[in-house]
Amino acid sequence: MRRNAPRLTAHVGLLTAALALTVPATAGPAAAGPARTARAVAVAVPQVRSVRLPIKGTFKGPAENIAVAGTLDVSVITVPNAAGGGTAQIISSLDDTSGTGDPSGGTYDLVGADRAGLPFSAAATTTLKINPRFLLISPLVPPNPVVPPNPIRPVTVSVTLASTGAIGAVTATVGNPGT
């Protein structure tokens, strides 16, 4: 629980900041302003979704194939534009994730977090795919990490968004991008 408290505090802070930017400070009577459309109402509030995904699979590491298993926490925050589309922040972090080398049998640790900011279109549905950067700590040099860990991108995160910023499916797969 202690490890999650700072993460949750950061998410609440991001949401509060996003709301402060999108919600007007003063609100007049409803009759005083123009009628608001459904899209305008949807634009006023950012969408937020956090999921915890189990990950398992094999990817090609720097020296050998690595079979990895663990958990990926993904948070998605969308801020839609009035005309449709907008910006999405995708935050990915590994939790209790390790791998086993093939053929060495060595145990690798995978750690880190990554944030990507991407635009999404005003089309009916947009699927964003990112490859977050994490660190691979090699078992070859005790005590770990004596040498700098290797930056790797073994996971592909896919997020489906509607043009209003509504967040649909969030998935993650293990494997080298483009293979």
Q: What is the pLDDT of residues 163-174, one digit of tens each?
A: 888 999 999 999
In this structure, of 1-5, 19-23, 61-65, the range with the lowest mean pLDDT score is 19-23
Instruction: Give me the pLDDT at residue 150, please.
Output: 81
Instruction: Give me the pLDDT at residue 63, please.
Output: 83
Say which residue, 16 or 62, is predicted with more confidence.
Answer: 62
Instruction: Give me the pLDDT at residue 26, please.
Output: 43
Q: What is the pLDDT of residues 124-146, one digit of tens each?
A: 899 999 999 999 887 665 555 55
Instruction: Give me the pLDDT at residue 21, please.
Output: 47
Instruction: Give me the pLDDT at residue 24, please.
Output: 46
Report the alpha-carbon distance of residue 74 to residue 91 in Å, rounded.
Answer: 6
Instruction: Give me the pLDDT at residue 35, please.
Output: 47
Q: What is the pLDDT of residues 11-51, one digit of tens each?
A: 555 555 554 545 444 444 444 444 445 555 544 578 999 99
Looking at every residue in the chain, the average pLDDT score rounds to: 78
Instruction: Give me the pLDDT at residue 81, please.
Output: 87
Report the alpha-carbon distance of residue 97 to residue 91 in Å, rounded.
Answer: 17
Write out the DSSP string of 93-130. EEEEEEEEEETT--EEEEE-EEEEEEEE-SSSEEEEEE
Backbone angles phi, psi at 168, to 5 degrees: -100, -125
Instruction: Give me the pLDDT at residue 129, please.
Output: 95
